[in-house]
A and B are shown apart, each in its own frame.
Chain A
Amino acid sequence: MEFLTLEDAVKKYMHNGIACSFSGCTGFNRNPVAFAWETARQGFKDIHVIDRHGSQCTWILNAINAIGIYETDWMGWAEMAGKLDMNMERLYKAGKIILEDYSHGSMAMRFLAGAIGAPFIPYYAPLGSDLYNPKYDALGRAGLRNGTNPRIAKKKFIQIEEPFYGDGDVILLPAARPELAIIHVPQVGSKGTARWRGVSAIDKEIAFACDKVVIVAEEVIPESEMRNYPENNQIPFFVVDAVVECPWGAFPSAVPYYYDYDVSFMREMDAASRNESDLKKWLDQWLYGPKSWQDFIIKLGAKRFLDLRADSVTGYSTRIMRGKKPAPRMKMPLSVARSGY
């Protein structure tokens, strides 16, 4: 395990055509944005993203056409702040990106198979969906399922009759086996043991399914501290190849108990992606303009960070304006107050 700067980690671990996965959950939670941002700046191309949905990371990479194959199940990125990735849609309609559709559960299962070293996994849903229509195999159609690329399975799926219990037909899904996992966590120990709070999405599975793991962390803490409550740790040190310390490295997504998502910044990104001249302006200002990630964060201004800093009890901020009115102060959830648990 090695400690690297953001620039050096991207230089060392990324390459053109790499198959990689990003951590977090949609554009809202623990996206390794700084890493994707630096990847875009260093100009890597033809990236094969294998993921369970889009994120801030895929938004930035699609904004400069750096993704060649997008193998996932949800091509949006910011839900209520920007549903479909408009950059991706533009690229897809121009034939500049291959999209391979799966479902959320099936991508989770593919990563689980990858994580436990199984070559494939059976999963029921969704039998009878066009996701498992043999005609709609995008990588097969592009001639990429010929066995030459170890990151691309020779078949998208196989439908079989369940042979052990007679439980009808079931779909076999190939394990996900990307080369690199980039996982954003709040805390990493000095030996590489990593933890997060809040939802896990499939980050543990991603870390084990990929050959190499780069951890991007809000803070590096003494390894001895990580051993106090080890049940809170999700990633053991021996799967970690490199650690990058990068405070606010998931902005504008959230890191629970550290900072909240910046919905106004996400709405600006979505608006910018709706036409190419606005997108160019955004990229000049936010991707190419700053000298470093630190410079990017400084450009955002201190006011933003006063609002985004998470409350230590709830894990999010009640000071940001998400809608038309500020968040109310409440002592406890109404559902509990009215009827208990």
Chain B
Amino acid sequence: MTKTTEELMRLIDRIPDEPAKPSEFILPELMAIAVAHEVRNDDIVFAGTGLPMIGIMAANLLNAPHATLIYESGICDGKTIHVPMSICDHRAANMTSALGGLVDTFGYYLQQGYVTLGFLGGAAIDKYGGVNVTSMGDYFKPSHRFTGSGGNSDIGTMAKRTAFIILQEKRRFVEKNDYTTTPGWWCWDFKTNEWKPKKEVWKNTPFADCGPSVVVTNMAVYRFDKAGAIYLETQHPGVKLEEITQNCGFDLNVTMVKGETPRPTYRELFVLREFVDPELIFLPQKVEYPAVIKAIIDA
């Protein structure tokens, strides 16, 4: 018998909060949960479509129930029932506290300094967390043209901390970006044509200390040191160090590795699968629960 959502809901606290085995989840699930762990209960979060949205919705059901979610189309603190496919999907606007537009979200909330955490994607990232979502190769004659900034550059520079989800490949983890859409801890000062710390370029603005704080890829989790350079923090289960360095286009700091990225727990997977994306839109590949968990669900 298939259970209703309400019946499933009562089971959440009975599902063990123990790490699942690597064969019991898929990589996007691990990444979504890694995202969720970044969210604090008092955060005001500004998230983009896709895995960031999924991860933050999961956090709202798990470790950060009172975190406020903002979507750039004008949505403030939506209490969603069905997962949105877009930042302006009306599903995201369910039970919002306030509903406005882009001027509200980018002006009143973001530039006014309320947003504490941004969660974004990217096509490529440099050593200092500068992100490219615009183009590869020459800007005017690109080998690849992407969608361009959207809210990436606004959120990534004005939220107190920003997390990025990026697919890790050598051409996407680069010493210098072909085009920097969202500057990281080092960026160009176009007035003097010098490559400088962001803190100097943004000196005296309200956003000098805002910037990237964590990067989640399909291989690992990274953070930034005091000088603003990226370093490896944890490797995803089963990923070897050589794979990570081979898929990185610069000399990566691996001296501060803390071990393995925490595997999602059965409870986290249960929440992600049954409540965040039960329609299988973002996480279409469904892995069977192990027998112990199945027994709890089917009982």
Contacts and interface: CB of A to CB of B under 8 A. Distances in A.
Interface of A: 24-29, 52-54, 72-76, 78-81, 83-84, 89, 92-93, 99, 101-109, 112, 123-136, 138, 141, 159, 162, 166-170, 198-205, 254, 256, 260-261, 263, 310, 314-316, 318, 322-339, 341
26 contacts: A74-B147, A80-B85, A80-B86, A92-B145, A93-B142, A99-B148, A102-B149, A103-B151, A104-B151, A105-B151, A126-B154, A126-B181, A127-B183, A159-B191, A169-B202, A169-B205, A198-B99, A201-B73, A205-B101, A315-B90, A323-B281, A328-B82, A333-B81, A335-B60, A336-B95, A338-B9
Contacts of A204: 101
Nearest to A125: B154
B231 interface: no
A122 B91 CA distance: 33
B179 A168 contact: no
Contacts of B85: 28, 79-81, 261, 263, 322
Contact of A326 (B151, B180, B279): B279
A24 to B, nearest CB: 8
Contacts of A135: 139
B250 interface: no
B297 to A, nearest CB: 14
B205 A52 contact: no
Contacts of A108: 101-103, 106-107
Given A327-B279, A335-B57, 11 more contacts: A80-B49, A93-B145, A124-B157, A131-B149, A167-B205, A169-B191, A198-B88, A198-B99, A263-B85, A326-B279, A338-B12
A200 B79 contact: no
B74 to A, nearest CB: 4
A29 B140 contact: no
Interface string B180-216: 1111000111110000001001111111100000000
A315 B81 CA distance: 12
Contact of B149 (A74, A324, A339): A74
B210 to A, nearest CB: 10
Interface string B257-269: 0000000000000
B90 A333 contact: no
A112 to B, nearest CB: 5
Nearest to A336: B79
B66 interface: yes
A81 B49 CA distance: 11
A169 B196 CA distance: 15
B284 interface: yes
A130 to B, nearest CB: 5
Contacts of B217: none
Given A80-B281, A339-B65, A203 B101 contact: yes
Closest 6 CB pairs of A and B: A25-B88, A200-B101, A105-B106, A128-B187, A168-B205, A168-B204
A75 B150 CA distance: 8
Given A28-B89, A130-B134, A335-B79, A330 B145 contact: no
Given A79-B87, A128-B187, A105 B154 contact: yes
Nearest to A128: B187
A135 B279 CA distance: 46
A199 B146 contact: no
Interface in B162-189: 179-183, 187-189
A130 B180 contact: yes
Interface in B47-79: 49-50, 57, 60-61, 65-66, 72-75, 79
A312 to B, nearest CB: 13
Given A112-B107, A322-B85, A127 B157 contact: yes
B289 interface: no
Nearest to A141: B140
B281 A84 contact: no
B176 to A, nearest CB: 11
B81 A314 contact: yes
Contact of A325 (B99, B151, B280): B280
A108 B74 CA distance: 11
